[in-house]
């Protein structure tokens, strides 16, 4: 009799301990995951949703309080049942069902009120939490029983039981290895964020079956372990397959829509006082001994439907500007805004999708071992989450048609294309993600002149059609004249002149721009001379000349002694047309007399 009371007492104590552990885990679960549990069911309907940078309304953090409020009634119900009904009436399926129903109802009511959810949402929320907690209770119970069984086996010192124990442990390890492998196996599963949950849940099922068969009948397990192992393996596999299917149906895949047409004239990109310095390391300890001031305080903006041409000599920092926008190099200071919001440091996926780049050399951008269809499919899979093969082929074909390639090109390798066609493939890949800004870093430099024109016309027509913003980097003035709306002329990390294309070409005002335009080679059968060469070497960006960086090479009449130590300032030439110079420019009027221009110094 006394023994029975002590036994019941320990049973109740064990239940209470488990309930408190589960209560703590329940609080932790709800506090950490809260409503995000529900997001599993919410498919991402529109990618605009995730693009909004609007600062989330800062609400008071009630997550811990809410977690306590929901879990306390469950704890009370659990205690009531453990201390009352179950302790005295024993385990009874009806009582269990009653307990589960009461817990669910309480959960649904409390969650509905606390989180302002509708009935369906609060039911889903409660089901997930309660299911997890019930599973935990059973796991804890089983774990306790397992420990007791193992201790018992150790005390009894029976060869067969020890054998059963060894087989049990080996089976656990085998199930673990298989489940982890199986749940991570496959291409599609890589798109699922919470793949770990698939292995954990499947493992729990497999472990549960093995452990309960072992603890129920250790000797039976010894003789029949192949059967138990097979049941466990099959259950684990089936669970993993079911969970994978559920997850596949819920991958937040953004539907590929027809290429989106952007409203023209909207703010797309702004760079404010952008500086990028590459550290220069030296000495035994590889310490920083200086910096390459590749970009040294530039400001510009690009609107939808607009092309900004960035021109300048080799090494002046054009590609560095592009890399900073793409987050490929860290900016030293300044700000880059995309659609009026700073680009976050972690460069989220939806921004990677919206800002695309086309490099100079298509050969270097295309993997020679991949077919065209796979090359263009990559961003569709990785950035848009589209995985169905037939869907991908259809999209890739549409994109190829946009760049005037055909169905028969789908399954060819890059080496089977000409340079111009390869660059078209690169452009199609950039279009695949429905971009908004495309950075074109010397996209036509590697192509012959006739193909250059085709690609430029293609880019122009795509821009007219879809309203993309382009940052067009080049040192070819003819190209930039053809494609750009505005031009920024760069010299040694700084802008020296910006303006609309016709302003720059009809009235180049900065001595460097004038020199660049003068050094253009024209095709003239009677004049084979190169008429103008900018004197001197481009100075090193590690130690640029003080004052105006261009001063050692400047041949302008406006050049004075101050140019060697004064910093150039921004001078307005016309609406939207500015230069950076120490002195107001001197230009020749039509009659050939020198006049000071009507300028405003800002």
Site residues, ligand SF4 (CB under 6 A)? 511, 548, 550-551, 554, 556, 558-559, 563, 568, 581-583
Three-state DSSP state, 410: coil
Residue in 82, 149, 213, 320 binding ligand ATP, rule: CB under 6 A: 320
Q: Is 332 in the site for ligand ATP (CB under 6 A)?
A: no
556 binds, among ligand ATP, ligand SF4, Mg ion, none (CB under 5 to 8 A by kind): ligand SF4
Question: In this chain, which stretch among 230-238, 303-311, 318-326, 343-351 interacts with Mg ion, using CB under 5 A?
Answer: 318-326
Provide the 10 A C-beta neighbour count for residue 564. 14
User: What is the rounded CA–CA span in Å between residue 132 and residue 125?
Assistant: 11
Shortest distance, position 319 Cβ to ligand ATP, whole Å: 3
Classified as helix, coil or strand, 405 is coil
Q: Does 544 bind ligand ATP (CB under 6 A)?
A: no
CB of 315 to ligand SF4, least distance (A): 18
Q: How far is the CB of 541 from ligand ATP (least distance, A)?
A: 5
- Structure-block tokens of residue 459: 């880019």
Shortest distance, CB of residue 131 to Mg ion, whole angstroms? 56
Q: Is position 292 an interface residue for ligand ATP (rule: CB under 6 A)? A: yes
Whether the CB-CB separation of 503 and 576 falls below 8 Å is answered with yes
Tell me the per-residue interface mask from 250 to 289 with ligand ATP, x by CB under 6 A, - otherwise: ----------------------------x-----------
Least Å distance between CB 288 and ligand ATP?
12
- Between 277 and 466, CB nearer to ligand ATP: 277
- Contact call for residue 122 and ligand ATP (CB under 6 A): no
Q: Are the beta carbons of 275 and 333 closer than 8 angstroms?
A: yes
Q: Is 296 in the site for Mg ion (CB under 5 A)?
A: no
CA–CA separation, 418 and 191 (whole Å): 34
323 near Mg ion (CB under 5 A):
no
Strand arrangement of the beta sheet that strand 307-311 belongs to? 355-358, 437-441, 469-474, 307-311, 486-491, 494-500, 577-581, 569-574, 600-601
C-alpha R_g of the chain: 35
Return phi, psi of residue 522, to 5°: -100, 150
29 binds, among ligand ATP, Mg ion, ligand SF4, none (CB under 5 to 8 A by kind): none
- Give buried/exposed letters for 263-278 (b at 16+ CB in 10 A, else e): eeeeebbbbeebbbbb
526 is written with which tokens? 């009677």
Quick one: DSSP state of residue 416? G
Q: Residue 589 Cβ, how far from ligand SF4 at the closest point, in Å? A: 19
Q: Which is nearer to ligand SF4, 279 or 546 (CB)?
A: 546
215 binds Mg ion (CB under 5 A): no
**Is residue 331 part of the contact set for ligand ATP (CB under 6 A)?**
no
What is the spatial distance between Cα 397 and Cα 410, in angstroms, rounded to a whole number? 7
Q: How far is the CB of 212 from ligand ATP (least distance, A)?
A: 60
Q: Establish if 315 lies at the interface with ligand ATP (CB under 6 A).
A: yes
CB-CB contact of 310 with 488 (8 Å): yes
Helix axes 119-156, 93-115, angle to 10 degrees: 130
Q: Tell me the number of residues near ligand ATP by CB under 6 A.
A: 13
- In the complex with ligand SF4, the residue whose CB is nearer, 8 or 535, is 535
| Size of site (CB under 5 A) for Mg ion | 1
| CA–CA distances in Å: residue 380 to residues 52, 137, 395, 449 | 21, 43, 9, 32
The one of Mg ion, ligand ATP, ligand SF4, none whose footprint includes residue 548, by CB under 5 to 8 A per kind, is ligand SF4
The residue among 318 and 559 lying less far from ligand SF4, judged by its C-beta, is 559
Binds Mg ion (CB under 5 A): choice among 66, 71, 179, 319: 319
Smallest distance from the beta carbon of 517 to ligand ATP, in angstroms? Answer: 17
Q: Is 475 in the site for ligand ATP (CB under 6 A)?
A: yes
Cβ atoms of residues 551 and 564 within 8 Å: yes
Least spacing, CB of residue 315 vs Mg ion, in Å: 8
DSSP state of 356: E
| Distance from C-alpha of 81 to C-alpha of 88, rounded to nearest angstrom | 10
Using the contact rule CB under 6 A, the part of the chain among 182-190, 314-322, 497-505, 565-573 near ligand ATP is 314-322
CB of 312 to ligand ATP, least distance (A): 6
DSSP 332: S
Q: Tell me whether residue 378 or residue 566 sits nearer to ligand SF4 (CB atom).
A: 566
Residue 36 interacts with ligand ATP (CB under 6 A): yes or no: no
Yes or no: say if 399 and 430 are a contact pair by the CB < 8 Å rule: no
DSSP readout, 473-535? EES-HHHHHHH-SEEEEEETTEEEEEEEHHHHHHS--SHHHHHHHHTPPP--TT--S------
Which of ligand ATP, Mg ion, ligand SF4, none does 309 bind, CB closer than 5 to 8 A by kind?
none
By CB under 6 A, is residue 568 in contact with ligand ATP?
A: no
Residues that bind Mg ion (CB under 5 A): 319
Residues that bind ligand ATP (CB under 6 A): 278, 292, 294, 312, 314-320, 475, 541
């Amino acid at each position: 009799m006394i023994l029975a009371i002590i036994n019941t007492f320990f049973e109740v104590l064990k239940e209470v301990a488990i309930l408190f552990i589960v209560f703590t885990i329940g609080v932790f679960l709800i506090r950490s995951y809260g409503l995000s549990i529900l997001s599993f069911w919410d498919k991402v309907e529109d990618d605009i949703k995730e693009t909004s940078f609007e600062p989330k309304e800062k609400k008071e953090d009630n997550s811990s309080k809410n977690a306590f409020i929901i879990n306390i009634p469950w704890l009370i119900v659990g205690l009531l049942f453990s201390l009352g009904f179950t302790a005295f009436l024993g385990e009874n399926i009806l009582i269990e069902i009653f307990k589960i129903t009461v817990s669910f109802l309480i959960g649904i009511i409390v969650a509905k009120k606390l989180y302002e959810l509708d009935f369906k949402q609060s039911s889903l929320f409660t089901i997930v939490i309660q299911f997890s907690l019930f599973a935990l209770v059973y796991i804890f119970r089983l774990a306790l029983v397992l420990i007791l069984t193992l201790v018992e086996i150790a005390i009894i010192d029976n060869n067969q039981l020890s054998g059963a124990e060894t087989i049990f442990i080996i089976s656990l390890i085998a199930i673990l290895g298989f489940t982890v492998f199986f749940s991570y196996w496959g291409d599609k599963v890589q798109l699922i964020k919470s793949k770990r949950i698939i292995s954990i849940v499947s493992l729990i099922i497999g472990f549960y079956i093995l452990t309960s068969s072992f603890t129920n009948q250790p000797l039976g397990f010894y003789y029949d372990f192949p059967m138990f192992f097979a049941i466990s393996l099959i259950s684990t596999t089936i669970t993993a397959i079911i969970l994978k299917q559920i997850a596949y149906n819920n991958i937040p895949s953004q539907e590929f829509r027809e290429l989106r047409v952007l409203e023209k004239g909207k703010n797309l990109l702004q760079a404010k006082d952008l500086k990028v310095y590459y550290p220069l390391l030296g000495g035994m300890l590889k310490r920083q001994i200086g910096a390459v001031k590749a970009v040294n305080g530039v400001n510009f903006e690009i609107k939808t439907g607009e092309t900004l041409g960035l021109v300048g000599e080799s090494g002046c920092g054009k590609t560095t500007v592009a890399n900073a926008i793409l987050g490929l190099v860290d900016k030293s200071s300044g700000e880059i805004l995309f659609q009026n919001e700073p680009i976050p440091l972690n460069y989220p996926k939806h921004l990677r999708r919206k800002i695309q780049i086309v490099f100079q050399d298509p050969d270097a951008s295309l993997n020679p071992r991949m077919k065209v269809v796979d090359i263009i499919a990559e961003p569709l899979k990785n950035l848009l989450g589209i995985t169905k093969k037939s869907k991908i082929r259809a999209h890739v074909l549409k994109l190829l048609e946009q760049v005037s390639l055909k169905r028969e090109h789908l399954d060819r390798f890059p080496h089977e294309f000409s340079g111009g066609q390869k660059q078209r493939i690169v452009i199609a890949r950039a279009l695949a993600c429905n971009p908004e800004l495309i950075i074109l870093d010397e996209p036509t430099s590697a192509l012959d002149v006739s193909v250059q024109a085709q690609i430029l016309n293609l880019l122009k027509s795509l821009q007219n059609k879809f309203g993309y913003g382009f940052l067009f980097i080049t040192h070819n003035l003819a190209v930039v004249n053809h494609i750009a709306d505005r031009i920024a002329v760069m010299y040694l990390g700084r802008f020296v002149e910006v303006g609309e294309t016709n302003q720059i070409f009809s009235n180049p005002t900065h001595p460097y721009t004038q020199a660049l335009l003068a050094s253009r080679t024209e095709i003239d059968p009677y004049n084979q001379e190169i008429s103008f060469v900018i004197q001197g070497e481009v100075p090193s960006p590690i130690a640029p000349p003080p004052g105006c960086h261009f001063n050692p090479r400047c041949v302008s009449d406006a050049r004075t002694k101050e140019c060697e130590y004064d910093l150039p300032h921004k001078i307005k030439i016309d609406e939207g047309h500015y230069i950076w110079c120490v002195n107001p420019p001197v230009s020749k009027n039509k009659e050939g007399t020198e006049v000071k221009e009507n300028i405003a110094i800002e």
